Amino acid sequence: MLDTLEAQSPDALLALIKMYAADERADKIDLGVGVYRTDDGATPVFRSIKQAEQRLLDTQDSKSYLGPEGDTGFVSGLMPYIFGSDDPDMGGRIGGMQTPGGTGAVRLAVSLAKQAGARRVHMGSPSWPNHVQILGDVGMEPVLFDHANPDGSANVDALIAAIESAEPTDVVLLHACCHNPTGVDYTQGEWERIAAALVANGVLPIIDSAYHGLGEGMEEDVAGMRTALAAVPEALIAYSCDKNFGMYRDRVGAFYVMARDGGQLDAIMSNANALARANWSMPPDHGGAAIRLILNDDALVQDWQDELTDMRARLRWVRETLAAADNRVPGLDLAPLSSQHGLFAILKLGKDQIAKMRADHGIYMAGSGRINAAGLTSSNIDKFIDALADVTAG
């Protein structure tokens, strides 16, 4: 039976990690998979996580099962940061559960929407490549529209048109902030238009928040999403702690439902629990437990926030430096990078130019032209700009 399986090409982003590792050049630059890096090129464990993990090691007295919902203290502890400290459960309308990473949360959101009758998902293109893979795997049809305008701003008109054209069994997938792969986010005014269109057309949003805190700030990065949530009757939210707690390989995420009224939450969450049980039974505990300890300790929260503030400042420096180098690379428009957010940006390079970046300069970026800005440091950013000038010359 198994000989009927045809070989699949490896995930392009993950394949890039291997290609980079095999390159022996000392001055190679990795701008591929989305991990944060310091100016020394390291991806350290957060100081607050180290302390919380030590505390966990000292105090955890059982690893017995918790259940499909995972660590409920972790799930509720994040809610003030996501939904606001004034009313973190939006009047008792929000329920949530822990998931294996943001990917698990996206999978759960899409599966639950399907179980509720959804068939198609409107989404901006490009998007995180795994979004389309998850939709295909769950049996949902993606309906694509252009996410960004050629000038590097968001094409909100295309999104509004998609919402207005939606059929009753359609949902829409939105990125909360730090859009992956473009870095192009909606402005607050655009979120207000989006919220009004969702309400007018009765379309359920699935909002993916994978980079909370890496854009403008903890409050700023979710302001648009909160505007939408304040307007729409119901929503599904996928949340990742991979980047903003640096927990990548520990796979820490959360899935939230905002229901029309609190009375519906039990029924909705019982479906989410059943889907989780069939998919992964229970989420891995360690990362969620460590984050719960941070969220319950004011000093650790402060240290976590301080580290995020430093990360944002570094990403801003990379973006400003690239934008200021616009005139050194006449073949590319680098100026919009300063008004975009998060780890990623798309550079309009052709396949040959991306291959030349790799072959001639040892610079690894996704085939889409996406760069992970965090891979650029004070010691390699000049080399990168010169390489861009080289591959775009003539």
> What are 363's strand-pairing partners?
29
Query: What tokens does 136 get?
Result: 């295909």
End-to-end CA distance of the chain: 53
User: Shortest gap between Cβ of 208 and ligand LMR (angstroms)?
Assistant: 10
Q: Pattern 163-192, binding to ligand LMR, x per CB under 6 A?
A: -----------------x------------
Residue 13 binds ligand LMR, judged by CB under 6 A: yes
Residue of 36, 83, 128, 364 interacting with ligand LMR (CB under 6 A):
128
User: What is the smallest separation between the CB atom of 128 and ligand LMR, expressed in angstroms?
Assistant: 5
Would you give the DSSP letter of residue 123? Answer: E
Give the CA-trace dihedral at 48, 51, 55, 57, to 10 degrees.
110
Judged by beta carbon, residue 111 or residue 180, the one nearer ligand LMR is: 180
- The CB-of-304 to ligand LMR minimum distance in angstroms stands at 20
Q: Which residues are catalytic?
A: 128, 208, 243
Q: Which of residues 27-66 bind ligand LMR (CB under 6 A)?
A: 33-34
**β strands within the chain, DSSP E:** 29-30, 94-100, 120-125, 141-146, 170-175, 204-209, 235-240, 252-258, 344-346, 363-364, 370-372
Q: How far is CA 273 from the centre of its chain?
A: 23
> Which parts of 129-168 interact with ligand LMR (CB under 6 A)?
130
- When the beta carbons of 81 and 128 are compared against ligand LMR, the nearer one is 128
Q: DSSP assignment of 229-293, as one string?
A: HHHSS-EEEEEE-TTTS--GGG-EEEEEEE-SSGGGHHHHHHHHHHHHHHHTSS---HHHHHHHH
Choice between 13 and 148, CB closer to ligand LMR: 13
Select 51 or 209, whichever has its Cβ closest to ligand LMR.
209
Residue nearest to ligand LMR (CB): 34
Size of interface with ligand LMR, in residues (CB under 6 A)? 6
Amino acid identity for residue 253 in this structure: G
Q: Write out the residues near ligand LMR by the rule CB under 6 A.
A: 13, 33-34, 128, 130, 180
